[in-house]
Amino acid sequence: MLVAWPSQALFCAVVLPAMASSSKVFAPLALFLLLLLGSTAADLSTSFYSSSCPRLFSTVKSVVRSAISKEKRLGASILRLFFHDCFVLGCDASVLLDDTPTFQGEKTAKPNNNSLRGFEVIDQIKNAVEKACPGMVSCADILAVASRDSVVILGGPYWDVKLGRRDSRKASFSKANKDIPPPTLSLSKLISKFSAKGLSTKDMVALSGAHTIGQARCTSFRGHIYNDTNIDASFAKTRRSNCPRTAGSGDSNLAPLDLRTPTHFDKSYYNNLINFQGLLHTDQQLYNVSGFISSVVKAYSGSTHTFFSDFVSGMINMGDIRPLTGSEGEIRRSCRKIN
């Protein structure tokens, strides 16, 4: 979990011994702290593969563009894969691992089961990258780059992706169930989920803007359209037509997360919130007329530049969550299984 205060406390612990008369105290402590901290996002670099795999970006983009040209929804699916990966053990491609008789992955956890998509696209990218640069590029980095390219191809902002992550040799079914925010959370609990990963409230609001693309299943928004009062009546009626109140009926029926431009990455998601037309309960929790979070929603609804800028910052911050670097983890030959 990335939070601000432990690093500050550790910094203080280093400074005080350095002022002591004996340097013998400092050296072992400094070594201990370095081992304790381990790898950090500081080990990542936008030029990590500039020599070892110069064709990485063009290779990834080609496959992503081809996939999205066949099904635009896949752009949102790939972006969601990255989110669900980073929120569990960190951005380490653990979400891509298949279950085996002796290994339980994260794919069948409640937030992921029969919901996450795009694994085949990541497989295609991995195969293409392996042909260009065998054994060099991690699945974790491939997912990070593919997420960026998905946003750009659908009309969103470009950013330089920090790279150098390695792939996890483990997964956590329990953490996937616990750490990925469900669509039923209150605003305070939603803030806590993001804060636990070192992400600010503004990061949360900006990253929620990823819901300007993609679709959701009836099971994800049924409670909001039937039980909540902070929803436009006409919008609720429209959504109810394809999502029956009774659980088990129409559970997998889909609705666009963005009412207006579901396949274009833009700021209309925030306009939807202001009109109380957010599809998920957690979407509409971001806007209740007054307060700081509502003011951020208003700012994004009025400025594509402001939204894009903060979304990029949020994606970079999310991509910094607990990366494996150096000799940690591995570079998988297949994204679906440990070497």
pLDDT of residue 138: 98
Binding residues for heme b: 211
Q: Is 52 exposed, middle or buried (0-12, 13-18, 19+ CB in 10 A)?
A: exposed
Binding residues for Ca(2+): 85, 88, 90, 92, 94, 106, 212, 258, 261, 266
Is 300:306 a contact under the CB 8 Å cutoff? Answer: yes
CATH 1.10.420.10 spans which residues of the chain?
199-318
What are the backbone angles phi and psi of residue 216, rounded to the nearest 5°?
A: -130, 150
pLDDT of residue 289: 72
Model-level pTM? 0.87
Does residue 135 surpass a pLDDT of 50?
yes
CATH 1.10.520.10 spans which residues of the chain?
43-180+321-338
Does residue 96 surpass a pLDDT of 90?
yes
pLDDT band at 39 (very low <50, low <70, confident <90, very high): low
Binding residues: 85, 88, 90, 92, 94, 106, 181, 211-212, 258, 261, 266
pLDDT of residue 40: 66
pLDDT of residue 109: 98
pLDDT of residue 20: 38
pLDDT band at 12 (very low <50, low <70, confident <90, very high): very low
Does residue 10 surpass a pLDDT of 70?
no
Does residue 292 surpass a pLDDT of 50?
yes
Q: What average pLDDT does the segment 107-124 reach?
A: 97
Cα separation of 271 and 282, whole Å? 15
Does residue 25 surpass a pLDDT of 70?
no
Does residue 3 surpass a pLDDT of 70?
no
Residue 84 a catalytic site member:
yes
pLDDT band at 290 (very low <50, low <70, confident <90, very high): confident
How much is the mean pLDDT over the chain? 90
Does residue 157 surpass a pLDDT of 50?
yes
Binding residues for substrate: 181
pLDDT band at 41 (very low <50, low <70, confident <90, very high): confident
Residue of 84, 224, 264, 281 marked catalytic: 84
Q: What average pLDDT does the segment 322-334 reach?
A: 97
pLDDT band at 38 (very low <50, low <70, confident <90, very high): very low
Q: What average pLDDT does the segment 166-187 reach?
A: 98
pLDDT of residue 42: 76
Does residue 4 surpass a pLDDT of 80?
no
Share of the chain above pLDDT 90, in %: 87
Q: What average pLDDT does the segment 70-91 reach?
A: 98
The CATH homologous superfamily of the domain defined by 199-318: Peroxidase, domain 2 (1.10.420.10)
Cα separation of 123 and 37, whole Å? 32
Domain 43-180+321-338: assigned CATH number = 1.10.520.10
Q: What is the CA 283 to chain-centroid distance, rounded?
A: 16
